[in-house]
Structures are given as C-alpha cells and as structure tokens.
A and B are shown apart, each in its own frame.
Chain A
Amino acid sequence: MTIALAVSPTRMELLKLKQRVGLAQKGHDLLKEKMDALVIEFFEVLRRIQEARMKAFDQLSVAHRALSMGFAVVGTLETKQASKETKRELQVEISTRHIMGIAVPAVEVGEVERSALVRGYGLHMTSSVLDEASREFERALKLLIELAELEASAFAIVRELEKTKRRVNALEYILIPRLREALKFIMMRLDEMERENFTRLKRIKAMMEKRE
C-alpha cells in the first residue's frame, strides 16, 4: 500500500483525509474481526485433526501388524505379488466447500472395505491372513483420506489468516499512522494560516486606522 503524503493544506483536503482515516479504521477493525473468526475456525479444525490423527494412525499401526503376519505366513514375495494383483481402483469424490469464502476440499470416500473376492488377487494366494491385512489397511486408508481433507482445510484457513493478518498490519502500522500524520500536518498548516491571516488583518486594520 502506498500513499502520497504530498497534501495541500485546504479544508477540502482535510475533509477528504478524515474520510480516508475513517475508511482505513473501519477496514482495520473488520479485518481484525475476520482474523479472530478465522482463528476460531482454525482451532476447531485442529481439534478435529487431533482426533482424526489418533484414530487413523492407530488403525495404520494395527494394519502394519496384520501385514507383518501376512509376510510371515504367506511369504514376503507372495504378499507383494498379491498387492500388485489386487484391484487397485479406489476412487474418492472431491469437490470444494467454502468456509468464509475460502475454498476447502470436501472429500467423499465410499466403502473402502471390500470382500475377499472383490479384492481380486489370485485365488491361489487367498489366505485369511492376507485378507485380514487388506481389511485393516482398507480401514486405515479411509481414515487417512478423511484426515487429508481436514489437514487441507486447516492449511487453507491458515493461508487466509496470514493474508488477513498482513492486511491488518499494513493498515495498523503503515496506512493509518501515515494518514493521521498527514491529518495533523494539514490541521497545523490550517491553524498557522489562520493565525497569519488574523495578524495580517490586524495589521491592515491598524494601518487603516492610522491613516484616518
């Protein structure tokens, strides 16, 4: 934000400046309210993230334990092979939602958990241990996708918060002080001019009286 400080000391200019200070102050106060609201929204999302993280990460470690079992029972190579052969077509629906004008992603995950048959790895390798591992990872994946949505929302809110804060600061520390300074300058100049006028008038008056 740049403003010209070259102001001419007139009543008109004074009035204009007063309006500008008013606008800047109004903008500042409202953006500060917006900032506060964004902070509330952020901490609400953060609270949900913490819950979602705990759930998702717990499930992920359960899944890893099940996979280790799979490696042990079915064999590492066979398990890897199964992971290549299985149907890997999970899809998520992603659209956008708005929080206070900020676009945040809205993710919809259908059913991630599948039956052993639908998973589709070669039946010759089907093993209940492998199915168990698949099921646990399916559960984990669903929770992780939900978590990804929340984290993306939090980042979007933070970005808007940063932007709003920059504007608030520019108004508070740059624009408003400069405008006030210009205001002070004009008022001083106007006062001064008035005093000069006054003394000049007095002098003229005195001169006129002398002449009479």
Chain B
Amino acid sequence: MSYRIAVVGDQDTVTGLALAGATYAHIHTTNEETLAKLNEFFDSEEIGVLLITHRVAEELGYDFRRMVRTKRLLPLVLRIPDKTGYVPKVDELREIIRRTVGAEIMIKKESS
C-alpha cells in the first residue's frame, strides 16, 4: 500500500519538508489546534509516516503520548530535531528497555 507523509513542527521544519514532498503539513502555534490537526492525521488512512519535532511533541506532553500509544499500526510516528537540533536528553527507547530487561543487561550489552 502507498502512503503519504505528514509533518508537524515549526515554520522552518514544515517549509523544508514540504519542499521535499511531504503532502500534509501543520505549523504549530497552539496546543489545541495542533492536537486537533494530529487527530485528523491519525485518523487519515492516507498517511503512512508522521514526522513531528521533539520540541512540539514535548509541548503537547501527555495528550500526544496517549495518541501515539493508542494509534493503529500506521502512521509510523517519528520525532525529529528542529532547526536548533533539539533532542531530549532521555531517549525513550532506552528508557523502556531499561525498565523491561533491567539495567544490568543494558550495561553488559553496551560494553560488548
């Protein structure tokens, strides 16, 4: 199946990725507006990948995390740095795996 790309973020990110061919775009201003738009994107059957800047994702907080947790298989959601290169210090994947398999395995694996 073919799918389209959606992007949510600041002006620069959205402009750049739209130039690259992303079909759906939303420039973040208020949480309320962005969440409504995201609901639309998550419901769309057309969107396969949703890119959102870490900064906006963080600003949306719990509401966004819940959306991601309860979404279907698609769209795939990827958090990306914005123009300033911002990424949070805590990596979500590492955090989850640390909780799941325990810190011992993390350290053993990392050093191998």
A and B touch in the complex (CB under 8 A): yes
For the complex, would chain B's binding face be called helix, strand, loop or mixed by DSSP majority?
A: mixed
Interface size on A, residues (CB 8 A): 56
> B73 to chain A: closest CB distance in Å?
7
- B105 within 8 Å of A (CB atoms): yes
| Residues of chain B from 9 to 29 with CB closer than 8 A to chain A in the complex | 11-23, 25
> B87 to chain A: closest CB distance in Å?
8
- A126 within 8 Å of B (CB atoms): no
Interface size on B, residues (CB 8 A): 40
- A64 within 8 Å of B (CB atoms): yes
User: Is B109 a contact partner of A43 (Cβ separation < 8 A)?
Assistant: yes
User: Is B4 a contact partner of A141 (Cβ separation < 8 A)?
Assistant: no
Would A39 and B105 be within 8 Å (CB), given that A49-B93, A64-B83 are in contact?
Answer: yes
For the complex, give the distance between the alpha carbons of A93 and B49 in Å.
10
Among B16, B78, B83, B105, the residue within 8 A (CB) of A133 is B16
Q: Which residue of A lies closest to B23 (CB)?
A: A88
User: Is A92 a contact partner of B85 (Cβ separation < 8 A)?
Assistant: no
User: Is B15 a contact partner of A80 (Cβ separation < 8 A)?
Assistant: yes
- A82 within 8 Å of B (CB atoms): yes
Q: Which residue of A lies closest to B93 (CB)?
A: A154
For the complex, would chain A's binding face be called helix, strand, loop or mixed by DSSP majority?
A: helix
Would A147 and B19 be within 8 Å (CB), given that A93-B1, A107-B49 are in contact?
Answer: no
Instruction: Identify 25 residue pairs between A and B in the complex whose beta-carbon atoms are under 8 Å apart, listed by A's number.
Output: A46-B93, A63-B16, A64-B12, A64-B16, A64-B83, A67-B16, A68-B12, A83-B14, A86-B21, A88-B25, A89-B23, A94-B1, A105-B74, A112-B21, A134-B20, A137-B20, A138-B21, A141-B20, A144-B80, A148-B76, A151-B93, A154-B93, A158-B97, A161-B100, A165-B100
